[in-house]
Amino acid sequence: MSLHAAPRRVARRLLIMVAGLWLVGAASAAEPTEAQRTAFKQAYAAAQQGGDGWRTAASGLQDYPLYPYLEAASLTHDIRQIQRPQVEDYLKRYPALLTASDLRRDFLTELARRQDWDNFLAMYQPGLGDALTCNALQAQLSKGAQLDFDRDIAALWSKPKLPSACDPVLSAAHDQGLLTEARLWDRIDRAADAVQPGTINAIAGWLPADQTESARRIASALSDPGAAVVAANQWPDSPRNRQAATLALERLARRQSVTADVAWQKLQGRFAFTPDQRNRVMYALALFHATDYDADALSRLIALPASVQTDTSREWRVRAALAQQDWNAVLAAIDAMPATQQQDGEWRWFRARALAATNRAAESQRVLTGLATEPTFFGFLAADRMNAPYGICQTDLKGNAQRERALLANQGLLRAFELYAVGLPKQARREWTQALDGADADTLKQAVDLAYRRGWYDRAVFTFNTGDALRYYEQRFPLASQDGLVPQAEQAGIDPSWAYAILRAESAWMADARSGADARGLMQLLPSTAELVAKRNGVTWTGGDSLYDPITNIILGTRYLAQMAGRFNGAPWLASAAYNAGPGKVDQWLEARSSLPPDLFIATIPFKETREYVARVMSFAVIYDWRQHGNAVTLSQRLTPIGQTYTLPDSRSERKLVTCPVVAPPAPAQAGSAAPASSMAPPAAASSSGTH
């Protein structure tokens, strides 16, 4: 039988409908009480310890929407002791709940650990992830089944990285002669494209003996390009060794462009590189010399053949020209871009700047006139240059009583709201996603409105992320007074609008956000940084998990922002860059380019993430200022020249009127996208810098 048939979407939706009818009469059920929520929290804490002790604390909660979460938590804790009948009983009672699918997945993983393949196969369902897919294949192998490559292995084989559960299956496929030389090299090439040297090393030994070393050289080029380019001086010239050398040079150029240049001079005479390989190396060298702002960076980018150039190389041609303040070169670089790329707000702004600097004022004004209506970083800069009001078009979110009643009858959505209310936001987001799967735009708007009124602000950020929905500014830029941001920012001596902007850009209002570098909470602080800030400011420190408390996070986050601002003459734009990339990096950039005006300095920040972060935060600060006061301190006042002391906004600060242009352009995504455009985005996706 096939182990890879996808579950039928219709069947899944039917199960969701069944789940929506789970509680009889729930459509008219009253809002859960605080007493029920308190009892649930106590019972849930007990359930997470396993056993049946939770049942006493849960007495009277049988009709509470989250009651199934209690038993699931207990069973999950006891997963190594429970047996199939207990799990199947739960699945039968709650067939479509997320807790049931989670329990099935966890129990299947446990059965695989036990190597209880009979019960595993009896409970297995396709579509539960690569690890369980491989466990299912291992179960079949245990019964003497033969693998079929196209049916069983092909989908897995196409992935550059697989979980360790797949190792026995791949070994069996190899032993059965299914992993031919062509297939092995196909996977190696995929792994190389995805920068997965571990995958290459794991299968290199299955190649013929005379090819194993070539594969390992490709892996070495990915993991240690510096060592690889040195070793390449001794490699024989062969197609696979040329591939490894090309990869090593490309990777080394990212880290050490000058060293890569020297290595290229040696290796290009040793290997008969193909034209494509030569172009790839020349492209990498030109691009990363540009990110280092070397003296010949601009000429290298101009010299690249047209067939090799990309949007990225053309963009860096502009940045290299901006770093030199060569305005004619800026215009030439922008003119070399495709028309669609030229329409980006950043390049329209710098075209206008370059036109003005080359005595073409009328043309500059025409560019600025269109840009000044847009609610973005560069739109606000253009409005300041034109002495025009900011163009922000707000749309009010109108409720619909009938649609609201229908939504409140959706048990999945009620579970989502209740999970959020009891402090389980990760589970709440999952229930939200399932409950609104396939919902139309009007239903989503109503659901976001319900979430917003409950203080669940991140739903608007993730849902209203395109088109006209970007104009729901009240929901997308909430003013959450209950977290104390305004008084804490004022006590720290920073502008509350800027603090709001940092929070919004960092976490999109997800209090449980956690980055891959372990930055946590609304303002994404590393525990180590937070501990130092707490000591410095006399704040009680109770450990890293305290950063998930919004009040604690904001107290420490605003103090750290003040610390960063103090390091850079109070300038919020430089402090924002330091908050994202680290103050040491900003010091390096200042040492190299401190003579540039703020807009050019931001444009020449080498890190794409930090460039976009600073622009996003500063535009958000304008929007939050307008949200609080009905007008806004100008963006230009916030971008103090390097070395000049920033003055906090006060009653004497110039404030800009905000109007909606008569012909309103679509709200650009940059004005509102601070987080991934998916309501399923995990907390870790909210911030990737982890430097603070």
Q: How far apart are CA 343 and CA 374, in angstroms?
A: 13
Cα–Cα distance between 189 and 170 in angstroms, integer? Answer: 17
- DSSP symbol at 633: E
Helical ranges in 336-440 per DSSP H: 339-342, 345-357, 361-371, 377-386, 401-408, 411-421, 425-435
Residues 47 and 74: beta-carbon distance below 8 Å: yes
Q: Which two tokens stand for residue 293?
A: 């702002």
d(CA 363, CA 367): 7
Comparing CA positions, the residue from 230, 241, 231 lying closest to residue 271 is 241
How many Å apart are CA 346 and CA 320, to the nearest integer?
Answer: 15
Kind of pairing between the strands at 658-659 and 390-391: parallel
Q: Does the active-site annotation cover 404?
A: no
Q: Which of 506, 609, 612, 654 is catalytic?
A: 506
The SS3 call for residue 604 is coil
3-state secondary structure of 259: helix
| Structure token digits, residue 22 | 């789970």
Give me the count of residues in the chain.
692
Backbone φ and ψ for 69, nearest 5 degrees, come out as -65, -25
Q: How far apart are CA 289 and CA 108, in angstroms?
A: 51
Please check whether residue 195 is in contact with residue 201, taking contact to mean a CB–CB distance below 8 angstroms.
Answer: no
- Does residue 46 contact residue 54 with C-beta atoms inside 8 Å? yes
Between the alpha carbon of residue 127 and those of residues 35, 572, 594, the distances in Å are 39, 48, 54
In the 8-state DSSP scheme, what is residue 617? H
CB 260 within 8 A of CB 226: no
> CB neighbours (10 Å) of residue 659?
13
Catalytic residues: 506
